[in-house]
Amino acid sequence: MAFIEVHDLVKEYKVNIRNKGLIGSIKSLLIPEYTMKSAVDGINFTIEEGETVGFIGPNGAGKSTTVKMLTGILVPTSGSITIGGLSPYKDRKLNTAKLGVVFGQRSQLWWDLPVIDTFDLLKYIYKIPENIHKSNIEHFSEILGLDEFIKQPVRQLSLGQRMRAEIAASLLHNPEIIFFDEPTIGLDVVAKEKIREFVKFINKERNTTMLFTTHDMVDIEKTCDRMIIIDHGKKIYDGTVEEIKDTYGGNRILSVEFGQNYENILMSGLELIEEKGNKKHFKFAKDDFQVSYLIQKLSQQYEILDITVQEPEIDGIIREIYQGGIKLNESLSGVC
């Protein structure tokens, strides 16, 4: 049996239909009408101990609802969840004792007090033995550099510092699983990188199972072994980032700056996608043409000043999947 097992998970919300205008509002007040909306519509997956899994999907796809059911905040409409044999909502207290949750947009630190005060309180809440509490704080301080601000009130911290403290707070009781809900939201590049490294380190060091929801594909690429794409409440992909990239990242962009403004550059294999004066961008399929061949051909016919080749970013691929531009191919191992 896998560590986390999710079967046919469904979550339906009752949505109040609001009518337009004043009369409509009064009508909805007196005779409320509802429709059922399924936020999560039959999701299955299993996660093994020590895995790092990223959940991605457009806003409103059902990621957060799924995570809320996994953490025991919401009760599923139907289907089942077990975490280490326990039900997150029936055995809430037992389950949460081994759970850590980081909400990027909500703090669990006491706003007006130094970080260390919240850490102390958590010691009592999670019944953390004194020696473990102490060694964890020392350990995290060292890696995350908490020392420089641990005695400052949380309200004076930068967002990056606060997130570091937030993550340390969620790890103090040595949780077996930790949920990160948009952990890097609003952070600068350096702060993001620091957090990703730390998360990876803890995963290696303690074999902690980690689940992420994020909109930042770099988070997923750098920290997760596996990603699950959820859209319209259904799981549409469950596999590696690499596989998606290899399959749908087949196009390359060739950006060329010409010596003069040529009209109608025609060459087989190159498709013009954008032009700005002398600078033109072409798309080509990397499996059909070699870059060296294309460059050679171009330079024979035209005067070229500069040339660059770009790999498409995973962000772009994911965007196309959301917008329906890419239909995931059945032959991919991760497609559901």
Partner 1 sequence: MNLFIIFYQYSKLSLKTMLEYKFDRTFITLAIFFREMISVVVMFLILTRFLHIKDWQLFELFFLYSFLFLSYSLFIFLFAGIRDFDHMIHSGEFDRFLTRPLGLMFQIVASRVDYPATLGHGIVGIILFMFTASNVGIDWNIQNIIYYIIALIGGAIIQASIFMISASFSFWTIRVENLRNLIFFNSRRIAGYPISFYPSIIQKILIFVIPFAFVNYFPAQYYLGKEDIELFWGGYMYLTPFVGIIMFFIVYLFWKMGVRSYSSSGNSMY
Structure tokens at 139: 């350990």
Token pair 């995290």 is found at 140
Least CB distance to partner 1 at residue 120 (A): 7
Residue 93 C-beta-side C-alpha neighbours within 13 Å: 2
Q: Which is nearer to partner 1, 87 or 255 (CB)?
A: 87
C-beta of 126 vs 289, nearer to partner 1: 126
Nearer to partner 1, 97 or 265 (CB): 97
**Which one, of 120, 93, 98, 95, lies nearest residue 109 by Cα?**
120
Burial 133-167 (b: 16+ CB within 10 A, else e): beebbeebbeebebeebbeeebeebeebbbbbbbb
Closer CB to partner 1, residue 106 or residue 276?
106
CA 143 to chain centre: 23
User: Residue 43 or residue 101: which is nearer to partner 1 going by CB?
Assistant: 101
Q: Which residues pair with 55 in a beta bridge?
A: 213, 228
Q: Which 3 state secondary structure label does DSSP give 222?
A: helix
What is the distance between the alpha carbons of residues 58 and 231, in angstroms, rounded to a whole number?
A: 7
Residues that bind partner 1 (CB under 8 A): 11, 13-14, 64-65, 68, 71-75, 77, 89, 92-94, 96-97, 99, 101, 103, 105-106, 108, 110, 112-113, 117, 120-121, 124-127, 153
**63 or 280, CB closer to partner 1?**
63
Residue nearer to partner 1 on the CB measure, 105 or 131: 105
- Comparing CB distances to partner 1, the nearer of 11 and 192 is 11
- Cβ neighbourhood burial of 17 (10 Å; 0-12, 13-18, 19+): exposed
Q: Are 34 and 3 in contact (CB under 8 A)?
A: no
In angstroms, give the least distance from the CB of 127 to partner 1. Answer: 7
* Least distance between partner 1 and beta carbon 24 (Å): 19
- Shortest distance in whole angstroms from residue 73 CB to partner 1: 5
Half-sphere exposure of 88 (CA within 13 A, CB side): 23
Minimum CB distance to partner 1, residue 208 (Å): 16
Q: In the bound complex, what is the minimum distance in angstroms from residue 71's beta carbon to partner 1? A: 5
Tokens 């990223």 belong to 54
Q: Is the dihedral of CA 11, 14, 18, 19 positive or negative?
A: positive
Distance of closest approach, residue 1 Cβ to partner 1, in angstroms: 23
> Smallest gap, in angstroms, from Cβ of residue 170 to partner 1?
9
Cβ of 207: how many Cβ atoms within 10 Å? 11
